[in-house]
Each structure stands twice: as structure tokens, then as C-alpha cells.
Amino acid sequence: MKYFEDVQVGDVMRFGRYEVTRDEIVEYARQFDPQPFHLDEEAARASMFGGLIASGWHTGAMFIRMVVEHMTPIHATSGAMGFDDLKWIRPVRPGDVLSVESEIREKIESRSRPDRGTVKIESRVSNQRGEVVMSLVSLVIYLRR
Amino acid sequence: MKYWEDFKVGEAIELGSCAITEAEILAFARKYDPQPFHTDPEAARRSIFGGLIASGWHTCALLMRLSVDAARRDGAAGTGSPGLDACRWLKPVRPGDVLTGRTAVLETWPSRSKPIGFIRRRNEMVNQHGEVVVSVVGITMYERRPGAAA
């Protein structure tokens, strides 16, 4: 297990493989983001995106799935306070395969809770062509040894 | 239609309300955020949260849904978002909570290259106790009123 003391600024982790399907894009959009370019191939082709694209929040959800599968089991984290500076850089389309590169940016000790600290982690989600589709800086709560 | 020109700094927009059930919390978390305090009521009781809580990404998804529905009611000509400045999950969201969304318009500026304009807004969700559970500051894009763009 990696605790607050064990992660170092500059550490880089690469993980995840998430295949994005048309059905999942539409299913997420129906529930949470029913805009035409997330729901309907025909309407999406006529939009500025030129075809069906995933909701940006869906990309966020696929990102957290990869984090929970690959990082959470070996890092002593206890959720997150939120994130800063999220950018939706490129559309995510059916058939894309996403992966994550995360880098430790900053460690902040808690003054009020000596058993934990906050770690700022910058993550980039890329597609199968190596293009970054989304980036963000997560504020993750780590337990101390 | 509501165009970029129709948003005013300081304007407050009510987004409506939604309830969240245990079944919804479990279904979202099992698919996207399978941490024990989101997927297992028993494990959640023993965690620092003292009971099942929704994934923060689920809370944000519900806020998005309220925003999309409100934009549709207003006829707002939205064209997506380039990103967010900050998102904070301030209080846990639990089964049975009723969440009400609201937006404050913080800043507006036009695109120099396209017939769209940008709005920086703070979107929040408040629970039935009046506590803000999530706050998101971000940018959204809207079409300009036809003929108005320089």
C-alpha cells in the first residue's frame, strides 16, 4: 500500500484500458446528459462534432473507473475533495480506447487531521492514437502511515 | 431561444430538483466508481462516512442532468463546454437525499473567432437540509443571437 509518505512529487503512473462503445455513450447520455450530439447519430452528424461523441461527464466517469481499478487498490486513499482545471480537449467517440497517465504534482499535509494529507494528481486521459482527450488535477485524500 | 447575449452577470438560474435512491447510487458506482463506500452498504457503515454515499461523479452527473433539462426549458442554445475551473464535493450525498440545482452567472465574453460566446458559471446542488453538496465553476458556450456577432 502506498500511503501519503510513499508518493513523491514527479511520480508517474500509466494504467487502464477502456473501450468506449456506442451503446454505453447513448445509455449514459439518456440518463445524465441528453443532448442530441450524445444521443442520436443523425443529429450528431449534423452538429459541429460531425458524429456521436461521449458526454464529457461520461469521460470523467470512465476515467474514475480506470483509477478505481488500477490505483485505488494499491494506494491508501479515502476519496477526493474534488478537482481543478478539468479540460475536455478532444471528442471521445465510439470505438475509442482510453487510458490514463497520472503524475503526482503536490503534497499538502493536513493541519487539522494529522492522519491524512491531500495529494494533487494531474491526470491525462488519452485515446488509442495517443491524443489527450481530457485532463484534470484531482485533490485526493491519502492516509498517513 | 436563449442566446449568449441573454445571460447577465449576477443572474441566478434555478435548475430544479431530483431525488437520489440507494439503487441509483449502487448502479452508478458498480459501473464507474466501485469503491466500498459507494457499492456496499455494510462496508460503508464501517467507513469514515458512516453509511452509503454517492460517487462524486454521480452527483456531478445529476447536476448535469438538471442543467440540460433547465436549458431545454429555457430554449438555451448551448454548444458544450471546454472545461471546468474547479469542482468541490463538500458534503456526502446519501440515499433519499433531494438535491436542488442552481446556477450563478459569473462572467461572460464573446469568442473572437466563432459566432459563440462563453459564460463562466457556478453550478451548485443543495440538499434538503440546505447544505451545498457540490460546487462546480466552469465555462459553457452558447450560440450568439443571429446578426449580433461581430
| Distance from the B11 Cα atom to the nearest Cα atom in chain A, whole angstroms | 23
Q: What is the CATH number of domain A4-143?
A: 3.10.129.10
- B60 and A57 within 8 Å at the Cβ level: the answer is yes
Using one digit for the tens of pLDDT, what is the confidence trace for B28-69?
999 999 999 999 999 999 988 999 999 999 999 999 999 999
- At residue B150, the pLDDT reads 54
A32 vs B64, B84, B89: nearest CB: B64
Using one digit for the tens of pLDDT, what is the confidence trace for A53-109?
999 999 999 999 999 999 999 999 999 999 999 999 999 999 999 999 999 999 999
Using one digit for the tens of pLDDT, what is the confidence trace for A18-29?
999 999 999 999
B85 vs A62, A64, A85: nearest CB: A85
- A72 and B32 within 8 Å at the Cβ level: the answer is no
- At residue B78, the pLDDT reads 86
B147 touches chain A (CB under 8 A): no
A12 touches chain B (CB under 8 A): no
- Amino acid, res. B9: V
Spell out which residues of chain B touch residue A65, defining contact as CB-CB under 8 Å: 31-34
pLDDT, average across residues B73-82? 89
Q: Does residue B149 surpass a pLDDT of 70?
A: no
pTM: 0.96
Q: Does residue A44 surpass a pLDDT of 70?
A: yes
Q: What is the fold of B4-143?
A: Thiol Ester Dehydrase; Chain A (3.10.129)
B65 → chain A, closest CA residue = A32
HEC string of chain B equals CECHHHCCCCCEEEEEEEECCHHHHHHHHHHHCCCHHHHCHHHHHHCCCCCCCCCHHHHHHHHHHHHHHHHHHHCECECCCCEEEEEEECCCCCCCCEEEEEEEEEEEEECCCCCEEEEEEEEEEECCCCCEEEEEEEEEEEECCCCCCC
Q: How far apart are CA B94 and CA B51, in angstroms?
A: 8
Spell out which residues of chain B touch residue A56, defining contact as CB-CB under 8 Å: 80-81
| pLDDT averaged over every residue in chain A | 96
B16 touches chain A (CB under 8 A): no
A85 touches chain B (CB under 8 A): yes
In which residue are the cell numbers 467507513 written?
B47
Q: How far apart are CA B96 and CA A53, in angstroms?
A: 32
Give the domain ranges of chain B. 4-143
A61 vs B57, B88, B138: nearest CB: B57
- At residue A47, the pLDDT reads 86
User: How wide is the angle at C-alpha B88 spanned by C-alphas B82 and B94, nearest 5°?
Assistant: 120
C-alpha cell of residue B81:
463546454
